[in-house]
C-alpha cells in the first residue's frame, strides 16, 4: 500500500498525537476544523473500531449534509479514501462489493455512512425529534457545536454513547466525544467554554510526558528499552482512555496554508469585533451590571471625589453601557475620563487608559479645589 503524505498544522498535529478520548476544540474560521479534526477522527474511529456505530451530530440536517459531511469527504478523498469506493453516503454499500456489516445494522440507511470494514456513521440532528433514540453509539462527533442546544444534546444524544457491549474495550477512543466549534457568543454557548473545567490537566501532562519518553525509548536498542516501550504504550492507552482535552486555537495556527495576506485582508475588511472573534478566536462576553463590576473604577472615583467634591460619575451614551468620571467647574463641564465599556476583553486596556488619565489630572485637581 502506498504511503501518502498529508499536511497538518502544529495544533492539529498536537491533538492527533495526544489522542485523547474526548476533545472540545474551539477554533477560529479557517483553522482547518474539517481537514484537521473532523475527517481524521472519522477515519481513525472507523479503522480502529470495525463494525462500530458512531454519529455526526448537528443542529440541523441541512447543516450536516451541506457543510459538515461534504467538507469531511473532500478531505478523505484527498487522502485516498473515496466515496462510492471506500464508503457510501445515504445508502448501504451494494452486496457485490463485500462490505462488512455493523454489529447493529440500521433498519434505514438514508442518513448513514457505510464504511468498507462495516463501520457505520449515523447522521443525527436536533431538528428531527428523538433522532438518537434507540441508537447504541460507540463515539460522537459534533460540528458547529455553538449552534447546538445543550439540553437537547444531553437529553437525547449523550445517553446513546453506551458502546456495543463486548467490543472495542481496548480502543482508547471508544465512547469518546469530539466537539468542534467556532468561538461561541452569549449565554447559549457558555456550556462549551465551561467544558474546560472538566479537563484534568494532570492526565494531559501524563500523556505528553509518556509520549516523550516513548520517543526516547525508540532510540535505544536494549532489552530494557523494549520492555519499557511495551509497558509505556500500555500506560499511554489507559491515560488516553480517560482523557478529555479542551483547547482554543486562532486562525494564525494555519498561517502556513492561509498566508499572511489572508490575515491582513480580514483585519482590514472585518470590524474589530469580528476580527477578534472569527480570526483571533477571542472570548467576548457582554457586561451587564457594569458599574458594579468595575470595582477599580469605583474606587478610583471615590478617591477622586474625596479630593475633588465636584467630580461626578454617569452614563456615557444611551446606546452603551459605560462609565464617566469628570468634573464641573462653574458653568463649564469638563470630562476627565470617559470610555464606553461593553466587553470584558477591553477591560484591561481601559483600566490602564483610565489610570494614566487619573495620574495626569490628579495634581491639577488638588490645585483647583
At 79-114, the pLDDT tens digits run: 999 999 999 999 999 999 999 999 999 988 999 999
Domain extents for the chain?
Answer: 10-200+243-258, 201-240, 290-368
In the block, cell 530494557 appears at 224
In the block, cell 494532570 appears at 202
Higher-confidence residue of 61 and 98: namely 98
CA dist list (Å): 123 to 86, 133, 306: 18, 13, 65
Phi, psi (rounded to 5 degrees) for 18: -65, -45
Q: What cell does 116 get?
A: 468498507
Which H or E run includes 367? Answer: helix 347-368
pLDDT at 121 exceeding the cut of 90: yes
> Cα 43 to the chain's mean position, in Å?
20
- Asked whether 168 and 194 are in contact (CB, 8 A), the reply is no
- pLDDT at position 269, please? 92
- pLDDT at position 170, please? 92
Higher-confidence residue of 244 and 290: namely 244
Phi, psi (rounded to 5 degrees) for 69: -65, -50
Q: What band does 185 get if pLDDT is binned at 50, 70 and 90? A: confident
Q: What band does 299 get if pLDDT is binned at 50, 70 and 90? A: low
Phi, psi (rounded to 5 degrees) for 335: -95, 120
* Half-sphere CA count of 95, side-chain side, radius 13 A: 0
Q: Encode pLDDT of 6-43 as tens digits.
A: 899 999 999 999 999 999 999 999 999 999 999 999 99
> Measured on CA atoms in the order 56, 62, 65, 67, is the torsion positive or negative?
negative
Q: What cell does 34 get?
A: 474539517
pLDDT at 235 exceeding the cut of 50: yes
Which H or E run includes 134? Answer: none
> Measured on CA atoms in the order 306, 310, 313, 316, is the torsion positive or negative?
negative
Q: What band does 65 get if pLDDT is binned at 50, 70 and 90? A: confident
Q: Encode pLDDT of 197-220 as tens digits.
A: 999 999 999 999 999 999 999 988
Using CA atoms, how far apart are residues 111 and 90, in angstroms rounded to an integer?
A: 5
Q: Which range in 21-30, 133-142, 317-326 is most confidently predicted, on average pLDDT?
A: 21-30
Torsion of CA 215, 219, 222, 227, to 10 degrees: 10
- pLDDT at position 331, please? 34
Q: What cell does 28 get?
A: 477560529
Higher-confidence residue of 347 and 136: namely 136
Spatial CA neighbour of 175 closest among 165, 188, 185: 165
SS3 184: coil
- pLDDT at position 298, please? 54
Q: What cell does 81 get?
A: 479514501
- pLDDT at position 300, please? 58
pLDDT at 301 exceeding the cut of 60: no
| pLDDT > 90 fraction of the chain, expressed in percent and rounded | 56
Q: pTM, whole model, 2 decimals? A: 0.77
Mean pLDDT, to the nearest integer, of 239-244? 96
Q: What band does 351 get if pLDDT is binned at 50, 70 and 90? A: low
| pLDDT > 70 fraction of the chain, expressed in percent and rounded | 76
Q: What band does 75 get if pLDDT is binned at 50, 70 and 90? A: very high
pLDDT at 365 exceeding the cut of 50: no
Tell me the fold of 10-200+243-258.
Rossmann fold (3.40.50)
Phi, psi (rounded to 5 degrees) for 216: -65, -45
Q: Which of 138-142, 159-163, 270-274 is predicted least confidently? A: 270-274
Q: Encode pLDDT of 162-183 as tens digits.
A: 988 889 999 999 999 999 999 9
Q: What band does 296 get if pLDDT is binned at 50, 70 and 90? A: low
Phi, psi (rounded to 5 degrees) for 118: 95, -10
pLDDT at 315 exceeding the cut of 50: no
Higher-confidence residue of 365 and 164: namely 164
Mean pLDDT over the full length of the chain? 81
Amino acid at each position: 500500500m502506498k504511503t501518502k503524505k498529508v499536511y497538518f498544522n502544529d495544533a492539529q498535529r498536537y491533538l492527533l498525537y495526544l489522542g485523547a478520548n474526548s476533545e472540545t476544540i474551539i477554533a477560529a474560521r479557517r483553522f482547518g476544523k474539517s481537514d484537521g479534526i473532523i475527517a481524521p477522527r472519522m477515519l481513525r474511529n472507523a479503522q480502529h473500531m470495525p463494525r462500530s456505530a458512531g454519529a455526526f451530530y448537528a443542529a440541523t440536517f441541512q447543516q450536516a449534509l451541506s457543510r459538515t459531511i461534504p467538507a469531511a469527504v473532500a478531505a478523505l478523498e484527498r487522502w485516498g479514501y473515496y466515496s462510492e469506493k471506500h464508503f457510501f453516503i445515504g445508502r448501504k454499500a451494494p452486496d457485490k462489493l463485500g462490505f462488512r456489516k455493523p454489529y447493529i445494522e440500521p433498519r434505514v440507511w438514508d442518513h448513514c455512512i457505510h464504511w468498507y470494514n462495516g463501520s457505520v456513521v449515523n447522521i443525527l440532528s436536533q431538528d428531527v425529534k428523538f433522532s438518537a433514540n434507540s441508537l447504541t453509539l460507540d463515539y460522537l462527533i459534533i460540528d458547529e457545536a455553538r449552534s447546538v442546544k445543550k439540553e437537547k444534546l444531553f437529553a437525547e444524544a449523550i445517553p446513546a454513547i453506551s458502546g456495543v457491549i463486548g467490543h472495542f474495550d481496548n480502543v482508547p477512543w471508544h465512547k469518546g466525544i469530539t466537539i468542534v466549534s467556532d468561538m461561541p457568543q452569549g449565554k447559549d454557548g457558555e456550556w462549551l467554554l465551561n467544558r474546560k473545567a472538566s479537563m484534568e490537566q494532570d492526565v494531559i501532562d501524563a500523556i505528553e510526558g509518556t509520549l516523550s519518553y516513548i520517543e526516547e525509548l525508540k532510540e535505544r536498542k536494549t532489552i530494557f528499552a523494549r520492555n519499557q516501550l511495551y509497558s509505556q504504550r500500555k500506560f499511554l492507552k489507559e491515560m488516553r482512555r480517560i482523557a478529555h482535552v479542551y483547547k482554543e486555537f486562532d486562525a494564525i495556527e494555519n498561517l502556513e496554508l492561509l498566508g499572511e495576506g489572508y490575515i491582513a485582508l480580514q483585519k482590514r475588511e472585518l470590524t474589530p469585533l469580528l476580527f477578534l472573534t472569527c480570526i483571533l478566536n477571542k472570548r467576548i462576553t457582554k457586561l451587564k451590571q457594569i458599574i458594579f463590576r468595575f470595582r477599580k473604577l469605583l474606587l478610583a472615583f471615590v478617591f477622586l471625589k474625596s479630593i475633588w467634591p465636584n467630580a461626578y460619575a454617569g452614563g456615557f451614551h444611551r446606546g452603551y453601557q459605560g462609565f464617566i468620571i469628570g468634573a464641573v467647574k462653574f458653568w463649564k463641564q469638563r470630562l476627565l475620563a470617559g470610555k464606553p465599556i461593553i466587553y470584558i476583553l477591553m477591560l484591561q486596556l481601559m483600566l490602564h487608559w483610565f489610570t494614566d488619565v487619573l495620574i495626569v489630572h490628579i495634581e491639577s485637581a488638588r490645585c483647583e479645589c
